Structure 1
């Protein structure tokens, strides 16, 4: 198990230097720094920092770094030096640590694609597959630029989906609040007025009053119902069967389902195109596309298409049979085949 140490030392010219390094103990740190020609070494364990909201490396950080990396590789800089420069220029601690960890793995002789697979939270399967293809083909700089374009489009699409979902979600929340206020505070007042009249009320009015009584008597259930619903959905998502049924339900919803379906199809086309253009074998590409589809129903359809190809049949037939992919998309894929 390694620990992070902070160190200070002087180089051969007597210039002060400082930094952080991960090692098993202080003696290892001193030995590593001496091999680099440093003297007057002082090292101590880095204090533990407690953050209520710890920094995370997000897609935008990765996209910006890939563009910088492509520029440096294109300029002829060695890969390890590229990571050293990016590490020094990073202002985000989480990103700096990630770059340092990757650099140390590269210094150990590991390929970049293999190294990135050790950090699945930061580098998804698509990224690793493309990087490996770029390393094998000697076109890492162009692959990185292609990845940047892919990630930027993905972020743009995600922002558009969130924007499209804001209105219906806001309507649902406001409707729930207004209905609760009516049932708990307004309808009981009308109920007292109607009771004084002594007249027989229509069935719809009686039903509304009965529902109001439930809201008044079990207000705490109504208050916590949305929270319990979210917890139940999360619990269902953790089971394979529940995850499948919920994803199927999402695709069947009137407005939201259509948005999610189109987003998943767009992601499929963009990801598959990017992998194919990079020279990734089609079966491996479909595995990666399925994993990054974002919906297990669509993932199952893509894996069925993969099986179809491995058996010598077409990619298009399972996509058409699913009724998820638009006719235009399946026709264009068929033309491509």
Structure 2
């Protein structure tokens, strides 16, 4: 989100100056046009906040350089002069590439904030400490901007929402909740834990699916290159000297036929694989496709159970953090549903559970059971918590139990997949070796023999 400043004249002739956010200059202009038609003011200018580089000097000291965000070059010059500097140069930074912030850096920021909050430091002091210790330039700018906005008295949601590209949508929501909650340290710690688990799960999923897939595809590519290019160059030598391969080396003959077929139809074969895969990929990126994928992915053997329980773990962890123990906590269910990283679970919780609670007056446990997306273990833990008055604590226990279970299961799955990949590579190598070695059994006819 970029920051913009509107300068206008009201119908009564008064000057209007206000700041707002938009994703682009075009969107900012559309917002202002709608507002001006409604309020009847005259637009003077819409300025975007940009980064300016400056070089200044104070007295006999050496010149210093720096950067400052502002709506115009003149604003930067006036601010520097006001601070007693002699302005040597102020130029707009044309290539304002801020870079990215690694997920580990974000988790570290939130975890350290939680630890320091528990030590009774003020959040302003914490931001100052983290700003000084952070090496990532983008993160430093983000911390500086958060600190400035909080000092200006801005609402937590407004402060963090502009940094969704750094923290992520859910983390921004949780941090904004923390700024108004009675236990800021707990919310920060739970958010850090959620992000750690999310990062760990994605890393394990890559190990379980991505790397094995790349390995298998690479092995298949090597096999096809051997069969389609290298093997014919060797086998055709026997054809040139009149050897009947079907009689003396049938495996070599059939492999050569396969090679010719691949060479003749490689375009059709490639398209037959790429088009369906690309079509499925783009379809699951649509809302309908993503919903279908998340509904059925939990039914996969072994891995589906891990994905399902990880989503319930995240739901329970967020529920534990936000649940107040009073009323139905509909907003808590919505946030936890959005955080669980499964669109089908989110849909069922919002459209079945929450609807059942609001319209039918059903209880939490009955409503969660009606969604059909929670395991019996999860339902029994929530039910026990509701009956004993310790719903939050039981949600936390469920999250920790599923964390341990899914971690052990994922390690086992990764080991199993690695084993099958090694077996696959072994089979391919044995097949290549057998077919290649068959050539050693071929006996050319003696010169002059019939």
Fold in common (TM above 0.5): yes
Contact 1:165 1:256 in 2 (8 A): no
Contact 1:184 1:216 in 2 (8 A): yes
- Aligned partners of 1:18, 1:50: CA distance in 2, in Å? 16
2:106 aligned to which of 62, 65, 72: 62
- Aligned partners of 2:312, 2:257: CA distance in 1, in Å? 46
Contact 2:290 2:343 in 1 (8 A): yes
Query: TM-score under structure 1 normalisation?
Result: 0.76
Query: TM-score under structure 2 normalisation?
Result: 0.59
1:278 Cα shift?
10
Quickly say closer, same or farther: Cα 1:194–1:333, change in 2 above 3 A: farther
- The question of 1:287 aligning with 2:319 is answered no
Q: Which residue of 2 aligns with 1:143?
A: 187
1:115 Cα shift?
1.0
Q: Which residue of 2 aligns with 1:90?
A: 134
1:28 Cα shift?
0.4
Which whole-Å deviations, capped at 9, do the CAs of 1:87-119 have from their partners, x for residues lacking one?
343221221232233334334331333210122
For structure 2, list consecutive stretches of 5 or more residues without a partner in the other structure: 1-47, 387-450
- Aligned partners of 2:204, 2:278: CA distance in 1, in Å? 26
Q: Which residue of 2 aligns with 1:117?
A: 161
1:254 aligned to which of 296, 301, 306: 301
Q: Which deviates the most, 292-301 or 144-153? A: 144-153
2:355 aligned to which of 301, 307, 311: 307
1:313 Cα shift?
1.2
Which whole-Å deviations, capped at 9, do the CAs of 1:268-304 have from their partners, x for residues lacking one?
2222222226999721122222222222212212212
For structure 1, list consecutive stretches of 5 or more residues without a partner in the other structure: none
Quickly say closer, same or farther: Cα 1:47–1:26, change in 2 above 3 A: closer
1:60 Cα shift?
1.6
2:91 aligned to which of 31, 37, 45: 45
1:225-236 equivalence runs, <5 A: 227-236=274-283
Contact 1:4 1:22 in 2 (8 A): yes
Quickly say closer, same or farther: Cα 1:230–1:46, change in 2 above 3 A: farther
Quickly say closer, same or farther: Cα 1:209–1:293, change in 2 above 3 A: farther
Quickly say closer, same or farther: Cα 1:131–1:39, change in 2 above 3 A: same
Contact 2:190 2:318 in 1 (8 A): no
Q: Which residue of 1 aligns with 2:207?
A: 163
- Aligned partners of 1:13, 1:146: CA distance in 2, in Å? 52
- Aligned partners of 1:284, 1:125: CA distance in 2, in Å? 16
Q: Which residue of 2 aligns with 1:243?
A: 290
- Aligned partners of 1:91, 1:323: CA distance in 2, in Å? 46
- Aligned partners of 1:145, 1:13: CA distance in 2, in Å? 49
Which structure's CA Rg is the greater one? 2
- Aligned partners of 1:124, 1:279: CA distance in 2, in Å? 29
Contact 1:116 1:128 in 2 (8 A): yes
- The question of 1:268 aligning with 2:315 is answered yes
